[in-house]
Amino acid sequence: MRKLLLAGVAVVGSVGVASAQTATMPMSPTQGLPTQYNAIMAGNNSNNSDGSPLGSGPNVPTPGSVVIHINGRVNFYAAVSGSSLNDVAGNKLAPQQFLEYFRLYPGFDGLATNGLRYGGIVEIRQNFAGQTYNLTGATSNGTAFGASASGNSSTSTLYVRREAVYFGTNQLGIVRLGQDDGPFSQFDGGVTTFQNFNDGAWNGDLPGAIVSNAQPNFPFWSGIGKEYASDKAVYFSPTFFGFDGAVAYIPSAASANDAACTVAGSGCSQLSSSTTISNNANPTNIYEIMGRYRGNFAGVGIYGIAGFSGSGHVHTPSNAAGFNGQYNGFSVTDVGLAVSYAGVTVGGNGLFGAYNGQYSLQPQGAKGATAWLVGVQYANGPWTLGASYYNFQEAGSTATLFTTQRYDDGLAAGLTYSVAPGMVVYVSYLYGQAHQGNVNLNTGAVGGAYNDVHSTAFSLGTRMFW
């Protein structure tokens, strides 16, 4: 397992304070399997996301103490990209750009003398305000451009992406409550969806360099914001003979649902029925259940997952004209497998059932969605090399009343090199395509233009983390 989180951990106990100079990510009891820490879920560690007994180490609490951590990372990457939508209606994008971001992961893990495990998990991100070209007096859609780069950058703020509390014991498992990852995201961890090389493949950083409408949809629920940025209650069981399980309940897909609505109207996360037809697309009472197996046989590591998610939806009247505006609740199955030997991991993931796009409900009358992914990864010392390919077939736009379907393909490849503790460099490559007959994928309207879009991107980046 690659070591990702380093110094800066303080242990606070009943007898005083001690600091650890070189703390590393706690290893799970199943180290050596085809899994490694997913940078996308950097607020998680073995203390708070695995119901197995705690290991040992400077960032694992001893009875009667807590471990405080303020981890973070800074990414910078230079990208070159192109797509079918880089030159539209006389507006042309340059292929080259620099991108960067900052994230912070404060939290703590505690262990009481009676065996109670508990703590808090927070992820703070940088909110990129809409940047405008620095021409004083110029306007864009009636809005004045910023007068300086300093003025533009000062509008960027910080926001909370994940926030949760957890508690449990080795014997009973762990309960996590808050805006947090569910079983589909936690148990995959990017392993069977092959997100753990370079910057995360099609669910990583490099897609930020590509025009959004030119990107293929990333359909898998592991590590995506629409899955984890909702308030939920999750239970993770202890491990028995390599098997463990998890179940989650999510009242609605809304995030930070900490107060009642002022009025039972459109946009209220607590809606169960509505007179507004579009509200039928909102899922309610979502649940996820998933099992996992981790084992090692004569040096061959096995990592397998299987789960199901269902939901209801807001009830609304039908629309008699054209598409009736009605949606089905989630009915989604996820299976994944990764097999590892001598540093080589191969495997894949399948997600299929009643859903559409990325974590959206299936329109009534439309076909179900099917997504599959295959990947390979090789790790040797400081080097990690990986590649993945996925195909996604979905209903897509309702504009054609289901006479056509959308097809997406995504290829990713990359190489990561650990230069020193807390520093990696990586190269990433992406190629994607999307198609839906008689749908303009640039505007979403019916039409013969841009029924097929393609995109490609390459980046060279570095990540500093602590």
Is the Cβ–Cβ distance between 451 and 436 less than 8 Å?
A: yes
Over residues 183-195, the pLDDT tens digits come to: 999 999 999 999 9
- pLDDT grade for 212, boundaries at 50, 70 and 90: very high
Q: What is the DSSP string of 396-434?
A: --GGGTTSS-EEEEEEEEEEEEEEETTEEEEEEEEEEEE
> Which of 32-36, 151-155, 186-190, 249-253 is least confident?
32-36
- Mean pLDDT, to the nearest integer, of 95-110? 93
Cα–Cα distance measured from residue 71 to residue 73, given in angstroms and rounded to the nearest whole number:
7
Q: Which two tokens stand for residue 449?
A: 């233009």
**Residue with token string 């649902």:** 257
- Mean pLDDT, to the nearest integer, of 10-24? 31
pLDDT of residue 5: 32
Which residues have C-beta within 8 Å of that of residue 15, sequence separation ≥ 6? none
pLDDT of residue 59: 79
- pLDDT grade for 202, boundaries at 50, 70 and 90: very high
Cα–Cα distance measured from residue 398 to residue 338, given in angstroms and rounded to the nearest whole number:
35
Cα–Cα distance measured from residue 162 to residue 152, given in angstroms and rounded to the nearest whole number:
26
Cα–Cα distance measured from residue 15 to residue 65, given in angstroms and rounded to the nearest whole number:
9
Over residues 250-308, the pLDDT tens digits come to: 998 887 666 678 778 777 888 899 888 888 999 999 999 999 999 999 999 999 999 99
Q: Rounded to 5 degrees, what are φ and ψ at 388?
A: -150, 155
Query: Residue 449 falls within a domain, yes or no?
Result: yes
pLDDT at 455 over 50: yes
pLDDT at 3 over 50: no
Query: Residue 329 falls within a domain, yes or no?
Result: yes
420: buried, middle or exposed (CB in 10 Å: 19+, 13-18, 0-12)? exposed
pLDDT of residue 276: 87
User: Mapping DSSP to helix (H, G, I), strand (E, B) and coil, where does residue 77 land?
Assistant: strand
- Mean pLDDT, to the nearest integer, of 421-442? 95
> Which of 72-76, 103-107, 125-129, 385-389 is least confident?
125-129
Cα–Cα distance measured from residue 45 to residue 38, given in angstroms and rounded to the nearest whole number:
10
pLDDT of residue 324: 83
- pLDDT grade for 17, boundaries at 50, 70 and 90: very low
The residue that leads in pLDDT, 259 or 88, is 88
pLDDT of residue 138: 52
The residue that leads in pLDDT, 237 or 140, is 237
pLDDT of residue 11: 33
- pLDDT grade for 15, boundaries at 50, 70 and 90: very low
Query: Residue 320 falls within a domain, yes or no?
Result: yes
- pLDDT grade for 323, boundaries at 50, 70 and 90: confident
pLDDT at 181 over 70: yes
- pLDDT grade for 41, boundaries at 50, 70 and 90: low
User: Mapping DSSP to helix (H, G, I), strand (E, B) and coil, where does residue 243 land?
Assistant: strand
pTM (two decimals) = 0.87
Query: Residue 4 falls within a domain, yes or no?
Result: no
Q: Which two tokens stand for residue 96?
A: 């080259």
Is the Cβ–Cβ distance between 389 and 410 less than 8 Å?
A: yes
The residue that leads in pLDDT, 404 or 49, is 404
322: buried, middle or exposed (CB in 10 Å: 19+, 13-18, 0-12)? exposed
Percent of residues, the chain, with pLDDT higher than 70: 84
Burial code (b: 16+ CB inside 10 Å, e: under 16) for 348-367 equals bbbbbbbbbbbbbbbbeebe
How far is residue 315 from each of residues 253, 324, 354, measured CA to CA in Å?
15, 13, 17
pLDDT at 18 over 80: no
Cα–Cα distance measured from residue 202 to residue 213, given in angstroms and rounded to the nearest whole number:
14
Query: Residue 3 falls within a domain, yes or no?
Result: no
Cα–Cα distance measured from residue 362 to residue 273, given in angstroms and rounded to the nearest whole number:
18
Query: Residue 429 falls within a domain, yes or no?
Result: yes
The CATH number of the domain holding residue 117 is 2.40.160.10
143: buried, middle or exposed (CB in 10 Å: 19+, 13-18, 0-12)? exposed
Query: Residue 264 falls within a domain, yes or no?
Result: no
pLDDT of residue 355: 97
Domain count, the chain: 1
Q: Containing domain of residue 242, as a range?
A: 9-259+269-465
Query: Residue 303 falls within a domain, yes or no?
Result: yes
Nearest to 289 by CA among 337, 329, 328, 333: 333
How far is residue 435 from each of residues 393, 454, 455, measured CA to CA in Å?
10, 9, 12
pLDDT of residue 27: 31
212: buried, middle or exposed (CB in 10 Å: 19+, 13-18, 0-12)? exposed
